Structure 1
């Protein structure tokens, strides 16, 4: 059964992945992306005070907020309590999928090989996060595994940007995760809002293509 969030994720085509060295930079990135119309945000738990940011964003109407790089059940439950609607790990984590399922949230588990993809599905993944996508074959790899797992919802992440995202989508990805190519920490720290706005508009262009 398809998780009810997946159609919305498919329509968006892009999940911005927020990973910064400070909470302030992450909050700024989210504000700038939201101002350009992006409404889905993944906050990685490697970001300081990520759960606090998730809580603040989840209270805003019209946003779909998730947690990334979720390491264990305790962290998963804290994210869910803060309002996260999807949980992401870069590995196969049955306990994270179970926590998401119990809360009605969407579980995105990381995998790359056919064996890992099968394990992720068996663990309860609603979405398989193909990571790291670019170093494992890029769109060609997506096309290859999609042939073996035609009913699996794939989200390639890692080295994906607005320029190559159409190739991933054409290869069979349901949507993509874009992190550093969209949210460049150096530009945020320098106050270069215009650069982030351009990247956000490129991401929105994928939705409209």
Structure 2
């Protein structure tokens, strides 16, 4: 059965098919980055917990408005709690961790665990969730892998992330099991460090346009 957490994932994404995945080196860039993503038509973004400023970036971008901001690369329940306190509206993990899922349930925040095998999909479904992050999608086999996993699990919804670029979007978005596609090409660390917010806006707008078919 689909649990309330999954329904909240769909609600938070609000029909968005593109999820920018961000690794932000400094909180000072959070405001301009949020402006660029919003101007490009993004409605949500995932800030990965891979940098010292990640928690503050989530807080700043969440306060900025215009984006549903989530936390990614969440590995522990403690990180999940910190992310939610900072303002994260959803949590994404590269794998399945029962404690992370339990904490997100307690905090009533959607969680999307990562999977790479059929066994992991079964574990997530058994936990009462039905939205999973296929990660790393392209190294695992891309669309071939997604189709192979989607076939025996018709209830599962997928958020493929990892190695995906604009050329891959049409194939992923055309598959009925795909809820949204995550990617970092729209706003790489290089873009942010260079202050190339025009480039971020343009690449985001192109991705959003592609997602509309």
User: Normalised by the size of structure 2, how large is the TM-score?
Assistant: 0.88
User: In the alignment, what sits opposite 1:162?
Assistant: 166
Q: How do 1:67-146 residues align onto structure 2 when only pairs under 5 Å count? A: 67-146=71-150
Tell whether the 8 Å contact from 2:9 to 2:111 is kept in structure 1 after alignment: no
- Contact 1:18–1:183 (CA<8 Å) still a contact in 2? yes
Which residue of structure 2 aligns with residue 205 of structure 1? 209
Does the 8 Å contact 2:40/2:202 carry over to 1?
A: no
Q: Is the 8 A contact 1:155 1:174 kept in 2?
A: yes
Gapped regions of structure 1 (runs ≥ 5):
none
Given that residues 18 and 29 in structure 1 are in contact (C-alpha distance below 8 angstroms), is that contact kept between their aligned partners in structure 2?
Answer: no
- For the pair 1:23 / 2:32, whether they are aligned, the reply is no
Higher normalized contact order (CA 8 Å, seq sep 6+, divided by chain length): 2
The corresponding residue for 1:11 is 15
Unaligned runs of 5+ in 2: none
Structure 1 residue 160: Cα displacement: 1.3
Instruction: Classify the secondary structure of the residue corresponding to 1:59.
Output: helix
User: Which of 46, 62, 70 is the aligned partner of 1:58?
Assistant: 62
Deviations 1:93-139 (A, max 9, x none): 11111111112211110111101111222344452100000011101
Q: Report matched runs for 1:163-178 at 5 Å.
A: 163-171=167-175, 172-178=177-183
Kept in 2: contact 1:97–1:125 (CA 8 A): no
Distance 1:161 1:8, change over 3 A: farther
Question: Structure 2 CA distance, aligned partners of 1:94 and 1:186?
Answer: 34
CA distance in 2, matches of 1:9, 1:140: 25
For residues 119 and 202 of structure 2, the distance between their equivalents in structure 1, rounded to whole angstroms, comes to 38
Is the contact made by 2:24 and 2:192 (CA closer than 8 Å) also made in structure 1? no
Task: Give the match's secondary structure for 1:166.
Answer: helix
CA distance in 1, matches of 2:206, 2:29: 21
Cα separation, 1, equivalents of 2:150 and 2:161: 15
Q: How many residues align?
A: 208
| Alpha-carbon RMSD | 1.9
